């Protein structure tokens, strides 16, 4: 009974949200990373050829593992371990940004561009760079607001959602469509449980859910529009 008391509805909600996001990542990268030895033929044409992406994948996987473990630790009453892992999580978040930017630049300079994305690499580069920028902003705010548990949790969830479109873009069927609007829309579906949770428990949206979620959604069509402008193409030519 004591153990069950440590798992109220809120802990279960955030744990299951984290598990759902990890599952989305696992499905997206199963054939090219997690289960690559069993999908060698598929990976030969769909997985990045550069060895760097093993590090890239390990860092991103570590982030989503931490996202699952952290609320579970709080629910189990191990807030001390939660805080200790939080410091490690901050370092992993920084590594996500560094390896993410490096990986995006490598892909953009690759002759074939981004794997499975039929968009000119110079244009598509704005998509992952925006994701990583939003991730860095939301996770940094979450660290700053760690004393405000309700804001902290939501910032972590929305920040992690900024990384999810890369995995969803590689889901079976979705990857064959190669349409950024499709995997953006599927990513945004993960905001719906958070919206429903807020409405059921608070009667209104939490400010983080509203403004961080809105910024993520609005950024998606905006970055696709900006990616084709002369201003961006001139900047990305200099970057590359």
SS3 49: coil
Q: Taking 80 as the threshold, does the pLDDT of residue 239 lie above it?
A: yes
Number of domains in the chain: 1
- Number of neighbours of residue 59 by Cβ within 10 angstroms: 19
DSSP states of 135-190 as a string?
Answer: HHHHHHHHHHTTTSHHHHHHHHHHHHHHHHHHHHTTSTTHHHH--HHHHHHHHHTT
Q: How many residues does the chain have?
A: 240
**Predicted confidence (pLDDT) at residue 94 exceeds the cutoff of 50:** yes
Of 130 and 4, the structure prediction assigns the larger pLDDT to 130
**Euclidean distance between CA atoms 21 and 176, whole angstroms:** 21
pLDDT at 223 over 80: yes
pLDDT per position as a tens digit, 105-116: 999 999 888 887
pLDDT at 7: 63
> What digits encode the pLDDT tens for the residues 139-190?
999 999 988 989 999 999 999 999 999 999 999 888 888 788 999 999 999 9
State residue 3's pLDDT score. 43
What pLDDT is attached to residue 9? 86
Enter the tokens of residue 37. 């030895």
Please return the burial class of 237, using the count of CB atoms within 10 Å of its CB with bins 0-12, 13-18 and 19+: exposed
pLDDT of residue 5: 45
Q: Find the range with the poorest average confidence among 73-82, 92-101, 143-152, 207-216.
A: 73-82
Taking the C-alpha atoms of residue 194 and residue 154, their distance in angstroms, rounded to an integer, is 8
Instruction: Please tell me the distance from the alpha carbon of residue 137 to that of residue 216, in angstroms, as a whole number.
Output: 11
Residue 87 has a pLDDT of: 86
Helix (H, G, I), strand (E, B) or coil at 28: helix
Tell me how far apart the alpha carbons of residues 203 and 220 are, in angstroms, rounded to a whole number. 28
What pTM value is reported for the model? 0.92
User: Could you tell me the CA-to-CA distances from 167 to 30, 172, 202 in Å, in that order?
Assistant: 10, 11, 31
More confident residue, 93 or 177: 93
Check residue 34 and report its DSSP letter. Answer: I
What is the domain extent for residue 64? 2-239
């Amino acid at each position: 009974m004591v153990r069950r008391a440590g798992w109220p509805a809120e802990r279960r909600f955030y744990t299951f949200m984290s598990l759902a996001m990890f599952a989305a990542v696992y499905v997206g990268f199963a054939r090219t990373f997690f289960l690559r030895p069993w999908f060698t033929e598929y990976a030969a044409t769909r997985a990045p050829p550069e060895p760097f992406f093993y590090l890239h994948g390990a860092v991103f996987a570590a982030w989503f593992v931490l996202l699952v473990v952290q609320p579970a630790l709080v629910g189990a009453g191990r807030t001390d371990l939660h805080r200790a892992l939080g410091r490690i999580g901050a370092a992993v978040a920084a590594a996500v940004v560094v390896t993410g930017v490096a990986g995006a630049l490598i892909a953009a300079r690759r002759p074939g561009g981004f794997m499975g994305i039929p968009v000119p690499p110079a244009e598509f580069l704005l998509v992952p760079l925006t994701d990583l920028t939003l991730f860095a902003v939301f996770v940094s705010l979450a660290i700053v607001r760690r004393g405000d548990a309700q804001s902290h949790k939501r910032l972590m969830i929305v920040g992690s959602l900024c990384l999810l479109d890369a995995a969803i873009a590689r889901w079976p069927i979705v990857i064959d469509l190669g349409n950024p609007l499709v995997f953006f829309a599927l990513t945004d579906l993960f905001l719906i449980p958070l919206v429903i949770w807020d409405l059921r428990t608070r009667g209104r949206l939490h400010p983080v859910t509203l403004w961080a979620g809105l910024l993520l959604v609005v950024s998606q069509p905006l970055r696709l529009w900006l990616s084709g402008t002369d201003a961006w193409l001139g900047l990305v030519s200099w970057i590359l």
